[in-house]
Amino acid sequence: SQKIEQNSEALNIQEGKTATLTCNYTNYSPAYLQWYRQDPGRGPVFLLLIRENEKEKRKERLKVTFDTTLKQSLFHITASQPADSATYLCALDDGGGADGLTFGKGTHLIIQP
Amino acid sequence: DAGVIQSPRHEVTEMGQEVTLRCKPISGHDYLFWYRQTMMRGLELLIYFNNNVPIDDSGMPEDRFSAKMPNASFSTLKIQPSEPRDSAVYFCASSSGTGGYEKLFFGSGTQLSVL
């Protein structure tokens, strides 16, 4: 069956360190993978998109990698700040070009001062 | 642009009652999505529209759920009759495309509690 897995345990990181979140998937062949941030009581907000033929994408302190062989994406926040504390969701299409995005359940990131 | 607008923000109702959730997408977006979020199941896609036409409703849990998009600026998700297991946060999102290459813009959601 199709599955998207993100760490269900909260991730505690000290301020200033790099936070790394993992998204693994099975039985998908995504052409695109996206990362979103969700704060309590709010809808998810888009952060980054990476294509299957891209190994890495950067935006300011954010970096995403996409390994279609391992079926995994890593999301990095460098020089983390308490304001980065939120739940981070990965989402992917099914490569068919006509479906909506399927989301993982997200990882709750806590940046401790 | 005001973004995707959902109403009501919170809805508390009793089992068996009809519930109607509303969404105004971002102007110019051709795609509208309804998602449901729970702790157990995460964000689940219920249905999505392209140019006001329902494209995929395979995520709609059962016949008690229905969605309409009478025009490009308005969509509703209706639950009739509602049940306690329908309690969740319902999100509406819009985008310029689908297939994963376009980002989704989400509303703030409707927190539904069915007692």
Which tens digits make up the pLDDT trace of B74-106? 999 999 999 999 999 999 999 997 767 889 999
Is it the case that residue B1 has pLDDT exceeding 70?
Answer: no
Is it the case that residue B13 has pLDDT exceeding 60?
Answer: yes
Torsion angles phi and psi, residue B85, rounded to 5: -70, -5
Q: What is the mean pLDDT of residues A72-87?
A: 98
- What is the per-residue pLDDT for B101? 80
Place of tokens 């068919």: A96
Answer whether B108's CB lies under 8 Å from B7's CB: no
- What is the per-residue pLDDT for A95? 66
Cα torsion angle, A23, A27, A32, A37, sign: negative
Mutate one of B5, B30, B94, B103 to test the A interface: name it (highest A CB count within 10 A).
B103
Structural element, H or E, at residue B8: none
Distance CA A12, CA A109 (A): 6
The one-letter code for the residue type at B68 is K
Is it the case that residue B29 has pLDDT exceeding 70?
Answer: yes
Is the Cβ of A25 closer than 8 Å to some Cβ of chain B?
Answer: no
- What is the per-residue pLDDT for B97? 79
Candidate from B48, B99, B107 with C-beta closest to A43: B107
Is it the case that residue A2 has pLDDT exceeding 90?
Answer: no
Is the Cβ of A97 closer than 8 Å to some Cβ of chain B?
Answer: yes
Is it the case that residue A97 has pLDDT exceeding 80?
Answer: no
The one-letter code for the residue type at A109 is L
The one-letter code for the residue type at A52 is E
Closest-CA distance of chain B to residue A106, Å = 8
Asked whether the beta carbons of residue A49 and residue B103 sit closer than 8 angstroms, the reply is yes
The one-letter code for the residue type at A34 is Q
Is it the case that residue B107 has pLDDT exceeding 70?
Answer: yes
- What the block records as the tokens of B66 is 């229905």
Question: What chain B residue is nearest to A90 in terms of C-alpha separation?
Answer: B43
CA B96 to chain centre: 17
> Could you report the per-residue pLDDT of A11-60, keeping only the tens digit for each?
999 999 999 999 999 988 888 999 999 999 999 999 999 998 998 999 99
Q: In chain B, at which residue ranges do the beta strands (DSSP E only) sit? A: 5-7, 10-13, 19-24, 31-38, 42-50, 53-56, 65-71, 74-79, 88-95, 105-106, 110-114
- What is the per-residue pLDDT for B99? 67
Instruction: Categorise residue B6: left if φ over 0, alpha if ψ from -120 to 50, beta otherwise.
Output: beta
Is it the case that residue A93 has pLDDT exceeding 60?
Answer: yes
- What is the per-residue pLDDT for A96? 59
pLDDT confidence tier of residue B2, bands split at 50, 70 and 90: confident
Place of tokens 């959601």: B109
How far lies B51's CA from each of B33, B96, B100, in Å?
Answer: 12, 10, 17
- What the block records as the tokens of B48 is 């999505």
Structural element, H or E, at residue A69: none
> Could you report the per-residue pLDDT of A101-112, keeping only the tens digit for each?
899 999 999 999
Distance CA B37, CA B44 (A): 6
